[in-house]
Homo-oligomer: A and B are copies of this chain.
Amino acid sequence: MTTVTSSEFDRGIALAPDGSTGGHRGELGAGWQIGGGVNGGLLLAVAANAIRQELPEHPDPVSITGHYQATSHPGPVTARAEVIRRGRSLSTATATLSQPDEQGRPVEKLRVLASFTDLAGLAGEVRTSAQPPALPPREQCVGMEHAPRELIAQAALLERFELRLDPATVGWAVGAPSMNGRIQGWFRLADGREPDPLSLLLVADALPPVTYDLGLPGWAPTVELTVQLRAEPAPGWLRVSHATRNLAGGYFEEDCEIWDEAGRLVAQSRQLARVPRG
């Protein structure tokens, strides 16, 4: 069994109290880089972890939004969380991640606003008309060992994942994007760490940018990412789909759904990102 301290993800989001500021200190690992910066989903999970420290009664984000202000780099990070309101079933909080510039002055990289709850305490009926992505069995899917070399070179991140993409959505890897604006596949963390609410924040931003499938390769910087967590994920593989339907004015939305092995839609997210310059 994987314990908290032995998983790459848990080490990646770990925070320690920072006595001098009243905030938390962490370290962004080089292994979470993509396209020259640290992955936005990992950063959102770090910020959520800072909020969680302040909200033991409501440990899980039910809706969390991050606005990304500057590229984050491997190295020290400071997280500050502030609870805005403590409620009976929901609490609202904000958090910031900052990193020092070359002169040691703090630069804000991410601002987060979120409502937290206790997902394990949610009861009530489930009515889902949404359908999980139709994926071939994992052994018929494409591992990242087949990804374009320039993608892998820019994405140490991908080594943290076991990602098996639907062959119908990886034509871009051989110069033949489907132009449908969809990438989907099977996901789990490479070290076997099981999914939980915080790791789903990472998963929501884990696949290659969906613009690859529109024939627009390159890094697509996230402006804003909102993740809504709808249930605690069951252990096992996740099914993840990314889709876009509107690219305009230099921006596109990327809608993500995450389904767990029990067949539950456990997270829905949308990000607004900049179209890669190509």
Binding site for B on A (CB under 8 A): 62-63, 65, 67, 69-70, 84-85, 87, 90, 92, 94, 108, 111-115, 119, 122-130, 180-181, 214, 223-224, 226, 228, 230-231, 245-251, 253, 264-265, 268, 270, 272, 275
Contact = CB atoms under 8 A, between A and B. Distances in A.
Contacts of A264: 248
A68 B112 CA distance: 15
Contacts of A128: 245-248
Q: Is the interface of A mostly helix, strand, loop or mixed?
A: strand
Contacts of A123: 249-250
B270 A228 contact: yes
Contacts of A87: 69
Contacts of A92: 67, 69, 111
A224 B226 CA distance: 10
A124 B246 contact: no
21 contacts: A62-B251, A65-B224, A67-B84, A84-B108, A85-B108, A92-B111, A112-B113, A113-B113, A115-B223, A115-B224, A123-B249, A124-B249, A127-B214, A127-B247, A128-B245, A128-B247, A129-B245, A130-B245, A228-B272, A230-B251, A268-B270
A230 B246 contact: yes
A115 B67 contact: yes
A230 B253 CA distance: 9
Contact of A247 (B63, B94, B111, B125): B125
A109 B226 CA distance: 20
A231 B249 contact: yes
A111 to B, nearest CB: 6
Contacts of A122: 248-251
A248 B226 contact: no
A212 B191 CA distance: 45
Contacts of A90: 223
A248 B127 contact: yes
Contacts of A70: 85
Contacts of A181: 129
A253 to B, nearest CB: 6
Nearest to A269: B270
A270 B226 contact: yes
Contact of A246 (B65, B245, B249, B268): B268
A85 B245 CA distance: 29
A248 B124 contact: yes
A123 B249 CA distance: 5
A269 B87 CA distance: 25
A2 to B, nearest CB: 26
